[in-house]
C-alpha cells in the first residue's frame, strides 16, 4: 500500500513539473513573439520617419544665361544660319524650307517672327539680331533638307538654336558657380523635406546682377509646384547681394546681366 502511494505521489510531482514547464515555455514563446512584433513595429515606424523626411537632392541644375550664351558682337555680326551652327554642318544642307528668327519676351515663346526660305538672313531678321541687347533670348529655327553622310540619301532635318545674348565678360559669383549651386542646394534643404519628385516641376528663377553688383528684378518664371520651395529660392538669391562681380562689355565697362537659376526637375 505504501509502495503504491509513493508511486502515485511521484507521478503527481512529475506531471506538475511538466505542466509548470509547459506553461513557462508558452509564456516565454509569447514574450518572444511580443518582443518580435514590437521590434517590427519600431522598425516600420523608423522606416516611415526616414521616408517622410527624405530630401530630394537632384535639385539645382544650372545658374547662368537662360540659353546657349553667345556674345553680343557675334550675334550682331551674323549674316546666315551657318554662323550659328558651324561650317561643317552647313556643308550637309542641300536646301532650306524655312528659316525664322524669334525673340523671347518675358520668358515666353514668341508669336512674332521673321521668316525666309534660304540660309541667308533677311534685312528684317538682321534687324532683330542687331538690335538685341544683353540678356535678349532668341530662337533661330530652320527646317531644311540635308545629305546623310553615311548613306548619301537626302533627309528632312531641322535645328533650333536657342540663344541668349551675353556680355563679353559675364557676371560671376565671387566664390564661383559651383559654390553658388552648393549654397542654394544646402540652404534650401529644409523647404524640400517631403518633396515628391513625381510632383516636382522644372522651375526657373530670373534675376539681374546690376553693374554695381547688386541683385534686382528677382522673379519666378515658373513654379516648382511647391510654393515654399519657390519662396526659399527667391530669398536665397536675394541674400547673395554684394557677392557678385558685374558683367563687362567689350570696352571693359560694367553692364547689367540677367541670369537664371534652373531648379526642380531638369527642363528647358
Average pLDDT across the chain, whole number:
82
Query: If you average pLDDT over residues 153-167, what whole number do you get?
Result: 95
Which H/E stretch holds residue 11? Answer: helix 2-52
In this structure, of 176-185, 229-238, 259-268, the range with the lowest mean pLDDT score is: 259-268
pLDDT confidence tier of residue 109, bands split at 50, 70 and 90: low
pLDDT tens digits for range 243-254 = 999 999 999 999
User: What is the rounded distance in angstroms from the CA atom of residue 210 to the CA atom of residue 116?
Assistant: 37
- In sequence order, the β-bridge partners of residue 196 are none
The beta strand positions in the chain, using DSSP E, are 60-64, 68-71, 93-104, 113-116, 137-147, 154-159, 162-166, 172-173, 203-209, 215-222, 244-245, 247-248, 254-255, 257-263
pLDDT tens digits for range 46-65 = 443 344 456 666 787 899 99
Same fold, 60-66+170-263 and 68-166: no
pLDDT tens digits for range 61-88 = 899 999 999 999 999 999 999 999 988 8
pLDDT score of 89: 87
* C-alpha dihedral (69, 200, 103, 212), degrees to nearest 10: -50
- In sequence order, the β-bridge partners of residue 120 are 80
Where along the chain do its domains lie?
A: 1-52, 60-66+170-263, 68-166
pLDDT confidence tier of residue 6, bands split at 50, 70 and 90: very low
Query: Considering just the CA atoms, what is the radius of gyration of the chain in Å?
Result: 35
CATH code for residues 60-66+170-263: 3.30.1150
Q: Write the CA distances from 113 to 12, 65, 139, 227, integer angstroms.
A: 106, 22, 9, 34
**Is the model's pLDDT at 147 over the cut of 90?**
yes
Given this structure, which CATH class describes domain 68-166? mainly beta
pLDDT tens digits for range 180-222 = 999 999 999 999 888 888 898 999 999 999 999 999 999 998 8
Amino acid at each position: 500500500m505504501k509502495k503504491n502511494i509513493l508511486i502515485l505521489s511521484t507521478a503527481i510531482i512529475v506531471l506538475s513539473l511538466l505542466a509548470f514547464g509547459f506553461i513557462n515555455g508558452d509564456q516565454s514563446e509569447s514574450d518572444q513573439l511580443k518582443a518580435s512584433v514590437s521590434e517590427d513595429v519600431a522598425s516600420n515606424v523608423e522606416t516611415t520617419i526616414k521616408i517622410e523626411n527624405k530630401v530630394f537632392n537632384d535639385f539645382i541644375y544650372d545658374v547662368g544665361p537662360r540659353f546657349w550664351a553667345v556674345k553680343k558682337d557675334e550675334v550682331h555680326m551674323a549674316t546666315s544660319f551657318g554662323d550659328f551652327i558651324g561650317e561643317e554642318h552647313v556643308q550637309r544642307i542641300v536646301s532650306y524650307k524655312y528659316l525664322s528668327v524669334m525673340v523671347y519676351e518675358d520668358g515666353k515663346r514668341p508669336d512674332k517672327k521673321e521668316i525666309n526660305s534660304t540660309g541667308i538672313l533677311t534685312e528684317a531678321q538682321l534687324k532683330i539680331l542687331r538690335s538685341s541687347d544683353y540678356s535678349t533670348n532668341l530662337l533661330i529655327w530652320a527646317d531644311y533638307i540635308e545629305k546623310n553622310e553615311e548613306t548619301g540619301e537626302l533627309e528632312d532635318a531641322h535645328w533650333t538654336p536657342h540663344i541668349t545674348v551675353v556680355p563679353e565678360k559675364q557676371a560671376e559669383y565671387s566664390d564661383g558657380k559651383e559654390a553658388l549651386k552648393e549654397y542654394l542646394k544646402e540652404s534650401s534643404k529644409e523647404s524640400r523635406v517631403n518633396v515628391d519628385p513625381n510632383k516636382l516641376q522644372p522651375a526657373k528663377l530670373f534675376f539681374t546682377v546690376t553693374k554695381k553688383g547688386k541683385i534686382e528684378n528677382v522673379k519666378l518664371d515658373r513654379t516648382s509646384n511647391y510654393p515654399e520651395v519657390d519662396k526659399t529660392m527667391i530669398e536665397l538669391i536675394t541674400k547673395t547681394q554684394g557677392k557678385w562681380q558685374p558683367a563687362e562689355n567689350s570696352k571693359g565697362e560694367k553692364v547689367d546681366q540677367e541670369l537664371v537659376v534652373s531648379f526642380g526637375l531638369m527642363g528647358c
